[in-house]
Amino acid sequence: NLGAYLKRKPNALSGGQRQRVAIGRAIVRQPDVFLFDEPLSNLDAKLRIEMRTEIKLLHRRLKTTIVYVTHDQVEAMTMADRVVVMNQGRIEQAADPITLYESPKNLFVAAFIGSPSMNFIEGQLVQNAGGIAFQAEGGVDIPVPTQRAERLSVAVGQSVVLGIRPEHTMVGDSNVSTVSLHVADIEPLGPYTLAIGKVGAAAFTAQIHASSRVGPDDRISVPIDTQKMHFFLKSTGDTVG
């Protein structure tokens, strides 16, 4: 897509056009592997999306392995067949994007994958008359469904961290519990709105309906999908089922 710019010098091209020139130079060498080191970091949002698509199409056409380094988890999720999540030079988890999203190995991976980031609440698993529940400071008390509790590899009474994604707060089935959110701010995003505040003592972001009339300092009841809750051992950060 550079036919109209052939008479220009590289320094007269935009960032995205320079990237295409650089990729073209690499293609003609017919390499076995392409190495990309944050190639889109200096581009504006619209151009980043366009270039993501171009690189994916290029990969399908050339059928050549691409190793792509990025700090942008959206790029990783949308472009990769396999993602290697690294922390201080150590591999935390390597898997396909959906596995990383649905079954993070530890707190680091859970926090890194997903936008907005997963919510985390520190508390304990307790046994009560209704079964097992998660309790935390500020009156947080969330029943854990029996089927979900059976998968937990942690004893009742141990300190754990509950993880719940903002997008799992707009639910309408039977596996629902509610938490009270003290709203500090809202971010309207068109199809839905993000309500940002605190649940108990923990920072929390909920995805609510765009038509919801919610403002700062409101207290709202937020439903969460209890089948989509994640639990991590507080002492190690490892997932416990």
DSSP 238: B
Using alpha carbons only, give the angle 61, 62, 66 rounded to the nearest 5 degrees: 115
* Beta-bridge partner residues of 93: 85
Strand-strand pairing, 33-37 and 65-69: parallel
**C-alpha distances out from residue 12 to 9, 24, 27, 70, Å:** 5, 17, 22, 26
Q: Distance between CA atoms of 233 and 241, rounded to whole angstroms?
A: 10
Render each residue's pLDDT in the chain as its tens digit; 241 residues: 788 999 998 889 987 788 778 888 888 999 999 999 988 887 788 888 888 998 899 899 999 999 999 998 889 999 999 999 999 999 999 999 999 999 999 999 999 998 899 999 999 999 988 789 999 999 999 999 888 888 888 888 889 999 999 999 876 555 678 899 999 999 999 999 999 999 999 999 999 999 888 999 999 999 999 889 999 999 999 999 7
